[in-house]
Structure formats: structure tokens, C-alpha cells
Structure 1
Amino acid sequence: MDQPQPELGITIDCTDARVVADFWAHALGWVQAPPPPGWSDWPSFLRDHEVPEEEWGDGASICPRSGGGPRISFLKVPEPKTVKNRLHLDVRVSGGRAVEQSLREQRIRATEADLVARGARLQREDRFDGHLDHLVMEDPEGNEFCIV
């Protein structure tokens, strides 16, 4: 029997799926993922799958505006984050090391200010050859990510 090609999905555990999904949708310029084919909206899908209404906020999913690429899902879990992530996301805004350093830093700092205003926290600055290379940040629930 032929099996479909696996697809990559990324899931982030959190205590408030909507808050964290909204943060990441903004950070990446993404949108709420559409419901599966055959359903016009998420409430219809959830109702048809007999998900109790009080659980509708337990998950969220975002995707690129183009619809391509992996989705990032957010799943409510009962326990808070307690240790460092072993996997993290990079928000790549600088253009890379080939871009003039002051422009790279300006782009990184502008993104930092925008995301801090939306609940992120700076954990540390990492430098390479004396220049800012990237920032290690935390999303509103403490999940580490980098602005590069």
C-alpha cells in the first residue's frame, strides 16, 4: 500500500495557545491556518468532530500567507515550561553576514523592539568578531528563539 509523503509540522506546547499563536503569527508575518478541506471554518470542523466548546481554545495553528511550507501548531498543556528548549526558531531579518553591520544591527534591533512590545523578552546578545550577530529572546511563555 502506498503511503503519502510525510509532511513537517512544528508544535509548540504552551498554556495559552491563542496568545502564543498570535505572537508568532505577528513575528513571522503569517496567518491563522485555514480549516481542513471540506470545512468553511474552524468552529464547523470542531463541532463536526465533537470537540467540546470549552476546548476550542486549546489549540491554534499558523501558516505562511502563501499557504506553503510547514504549519506551526500551538497546543495547550497543563504544565509550564521548565527547562531550556533543545530546538528553537530563528526569525531571520538581518540579511546575513554579507550585509553591512550597521544595517544588520538596525534590522535586528527594530525586530527586537517590535516583538518586545508584543510580550517577548531579551535573554542575551551574542556577538561575532565584536559585532552583534543575533539576539536570544523568549516568547510570551518563555520559549527561546533568536533574532538573526
Structure 2
Amino acid sequence: MLTIGSVVLGVANVPRAAAFWMEALGYVPRDEIEPDWVVLIPAEGTGVQLSLGLSATPPQDHPRIHLDLYAGDAADQAAEVERLVSLGAQRVDWDLYPDDADFIVLADPDGNRFCIIDTGHG
């Protein structure tokens, strides 16, 4: 049986992306950060790996695949959004929000979209 070993993001600058995602998620490099590749793992040892690979392809405005990061409630979501923005994420003027959205769309320093989900939302 197969399992997912790692989620891979294409980035324009691996060291910059690694610095953002390590701070954002509390991850550490599994091995040395190379100019074109790094695998990040949870500092606590269990969880999904995040691999960052050098890519010349620009990020998509409406990506088919993205990360959902879970927050406990609306207050936690707001605090996490502010924390991530302070680390270099950018708010995205998302044109596809439903009326009662439980998510906020951000972009990492390379422009990759990801969502912060309020898991306590109705």
C-alpha cells in the first residue's frame, strides 16, 4: 500500500522558502539545505514532510493543489494570519470566497497560495 511521503512545493529561492516554512510550521531541515532542494520535517518528529524544490515555473493564481493549515477557531485563525504575514506571507485578494468562508487565502514569499482554515467554523 502506498502512503504520501512528502508534499512538494516549487519555489524560486529554496533557502528563503525554507526559512519561511520552518518558522511558519516549526519544521527543521531533514538534511542540509541545498540551493535547489530541501526536505523539512516536523521538529517533534511526526507529521507530513514538506519538500521545497527549485522551480522556474511561476505560481498559479488558482492552483489546483495547495496546503490547508488548520487553526482552532476564528481568533486562532486571525492570530495565525497575522503571524504568517509578519514572517513574509502576503494576503491574497481571493476572488472565489464563498459568502460564509471558513478560510483565508495567503501566499508564501514565493507566491504559492495556501489557506488558513477556521476549524471551529459552523
> What TM-score, normalized to structure 2?
0.78
Q: Deviations over 1:48-107 (max 9, x none)?
A: xxxxxxxx31112211122223321111123332443211111112x2xxxxxxxx2221
Structure 1 letter corresponding to 2:104: L
**2:55 aligned with 1:77, yes or no?**
yes
Q: Which has the larger share of helix?
A: 1
Greater Rg by CA = 1
CA distance 1:135–1:9, shift in 2 (3 Å): same
How many percent of aligned residue pairs carry the same amino acid? Answer: 28
Determine the C-alpha separation between the residues in 2 that align with 1:120 and 1:67: 25
**How many matched pairs?**
114
Q: Deviations over 1:4-41 (max 9, x none)?
A: 965522111111011112211222122222x3xxxxxx
Structure 1 letter corresponding to 2:62: K
Determine the C-alpha separation between the residues in 1 that align with 2:53 and 2:43: 21
Where do 5+ consecutive residues of structure 1 fail to align?
36-41, 44-55, 96-103
Task: Specify the SS of the correspondent of 2:110.
Answer: coil
Task: Specify the SS of the correspondent of 1:66.
Answer: coil
Where do 5+ consecutive residues of structure 2 fail to align?
118-122
> What TM-score, normalized to structure 1?
0.66
**2:71 aligned with 1:58, yes or no?**
no
- Map of 1:93-112 to 2, 5 A cutoff? 93=71, 95=72, 104-112=73-81
